[in-house]
Structure 1
Amino acid sequence: MISLRPEEERDYEKIFQVIEEAFRNVEHSDHQEHFLVEKLRKSEDFIPELSIVADFVNDDTGEEELVGHILFSKVTIENGLESFESLALAPVSVKPEYQNQGIGGHLIAFGHVIAQELGFKSVVLIGHEKYYPKFEYRKASDFGITFPFDIPDANGMAVELIENGLKGIKGMVKYPKEFGIE
């Protein structure tokens, strides 16, 4: 059984390990995701309720093992005239031996619900063009949203958490300084 909950301070070391393991053999990774989460945790753009862990609970023994993590942090979408608040999903991590079992999807769906409850209207991400559309993500360019670096159009995505959550919002995503993107 999988249990989802906000991270706690006691989870930090396990989260670091889960993220490092999850991205160790990923081709399109700078292998710094675990350090990014540590930096974001100390930033003003960190939202504790949106740093979520997945615990695998052994039905026989009741033992829990932290097997996944997701982080949504504040970003803005700016067009020179206006600035709109949004969230960035980065990263979503599942221990390799637990991947392809739906845990990442549960983390994404749960995170969307919490984000919506907190009043957020949208999420942007850089990700796999075949995976994230399952969760209603579309090309960010369809909304008039761009990113401050070159990526294939299909990999920059956004989702509206509420109906028309991105209506009339166009511009470039501005990431917190912790992402290291100028």
Structure 2
Amino acid sequence: MVVRRERPGDVAGARAVQVAAFGRELEASLLDRLRVCEGWMPPLSFVACSGEEVVGHVVCTRAHVADTPVVGLGPIGVAPGLHGRGVGAALMHTVLGAADALGEPLVGLLGDPGFYQRFGFVLAETVGVVPPEAEWAPHFQVRTLAAYDPGVVGAFRYAAPFEDL
């Protein structure tokens, strides 16, 4: 398996992985809308490939905490037959390292804290970041990066397509 930046020829494979991973179109449709919004960040869209086949995909898009630019992670998906084989972990390490190298201050996501804490995520409210929806608080997390400033506090806003979910 190789993890690399997404290329134009990977779009259909990345979309197919999201559909297979979640068993529905919602995340793939979100991905379609993210690709054409101003929040799209090509340097933070990665695929995991087995040969030429896309078997995993992750993306971060521009988000904000109050007025500070940050990134929102997701969707992330792995082909169902490869769950538990390190594909998701490889994608996470790659995208977090890339976001850090780009000087991003933090990454936010909605997900299972039991899974994402291994990548350094903490509940957002512990660092003063307010989830987009109050009921998300037990699952909305952030990972601070090298450029993090503890003064970055306030409401988290994903890229516009997330608001249509």
Query: Normalised by the size of structure 1, how large is the TM-score?
Result: 0.85
Aligned CA RMSD, in angstroms, stands at: 1.6
Aligned residues: 165
Contact 2:45–2:60, Cα closer than 8 Å, also in 1: yes
Contact 2:39–2:159, Cα closer than 8 Å, also in 1: yes
Within the candidate set 34, 38, 49, 2:43 is matched to 49
Query: Would you tell me which structure has more helix in proportion to its own residues?
Result: 2
Contact 1:50–1:111, Cα closer than 8 Å, also in 2: yes
Q: Output the CA distance in 1 between the equivalents of 2:19 and 2:164.
A: 21
Contact 1:148–1:181, Cα closer than 8 Å, also in 2: no
Within the candidate set 120, 125, 138, 1:141 is matched to 125
2:164 equivalent to 1:176: no
Aligned to 1:153: 137
Over alpha carbons, which structure has the higher Rg?
Answer: 1
Aligned to 2:85: 101
Highest RCO, 1 vs 2 (Cα 8 Å, sep ≥ 6) = 2
1:151 deviation in Å?
Answer: 2.7
- Structure 1's consecutive aligned runs of 4 or more residues displaced over 2 angstroms after TM superposition are 150-154
2:146 equivalent to 1:162: yes
Gaps of 5+ in 1: 26-30, 58-63
2:75 equivalent to 1:91: yes
Q: Output the CA distance in 2 between the equivalents of 1:166 and 1:54.
A: 31
Deviations 1:119-160 (A, max 9, x none): 112100000111000000000000111122133433010011
1:65 deviation in Å?
Answer: 1.8
2:6 equivalent to 1:7: yes
The 3 A distance-change label for structure 1 pair 127 and 166 is farther
1:93 deviation in Å?
Answer: 0.3
Q: Output the CA distance in 1 between the equivalents of 2:47 and 2:39.
A: 19
Which AA in structure 2 matches 1:51? Answer: S
Contact 1:18–1:94, Cα closer than 8 Å, also in 2: yes
SS at match of 2:85: coil
Which AA in structure 2 matches 1:123? Answer: V
Q: Output the CA distance in 1 between the equivalents of 2:136 and 2:18.
A: 24
Q: Output the CA distance in 1 between the equivalents of 2:53 and 2:129.
A: 38
